[in-house]
Amino acid sequence: MSIRIHGDRTIKTPTGLATRPTPSKVRAAVFNILQSRIRNANWLDICAGSGAMGAEALVRGANQVVGIELSAIACRIVQENWQKVAPSPQNFRVIKGDAIKVLAKLQPQFFDLVYFDPPYQSELYEPVLKCLPPLLAEDALVIAEGDRLRPLPDRMGDLVCCDRRQYGQTALTMYHQPKR
């Protein structure tokens, strides 16, 4: 199966139900919200799936995209998709592994924008969101995608909710780290 991203480009998605691509309406909404922040940003895509969100970030001018994905098959597809859309000098890399373990090893890298889209019923939200602050650049924004029937808390460790949006069954919770 394939999906279309900005600029009418087509990318692959893994087959089966193990990977659920972010709906096109939600992708469009996220990139409308972030449009002034993407160019030259460092983007982190956690639970990257097909890599659609990272591909959108690359197409729209992100400086660097790093994806974390547990599935080896999905990692190969993400790599292929990002190679297809990333013009040089953009940098990208896909890391296969458990999100919490990989995040602990990413320091001293800093990200301006983080998109986190785990399986909605997983228990990853709290541990992943709580370990993000050391990786965030000043004024970074973290967007967690989830099920609207399972709202995320207003505070997650050092992260504080700054906005919430809902698109059908999908909820987006946006966090930032207040200045100290």
pLDDT of amino acid 108: 83
- What are the tens digits of pLDDT across the range 28-80? 999 999 999 999 999 999 999 989 999 999 999 999 999 999 999 999 999 99
**How many domains does the chain fold into?**
1
Q: How many Å apart are CA 132 and CA 171, to the nearest integer?
A: 20
The model's pTM is 0.91
Q: Cβ distance 65 to 90 under 8 Å?
A: yes
Q: Domain of residue 151: give its range.
A: 2-176
Could you read off the pLDDT of 42-54 as tens digits, one per residue?
999 999 998 999 9
CATH code of 170's domain: 3.40.50.150
Q: How much is the pLDDT for 90?
A: 83
How do residues 110-127 score in pLDDT, each as one tens digit?
A: 999 999 999 999 999 999
Token output for 164: 């919430």
List the structure tokens of 170. Answer: 């999908």
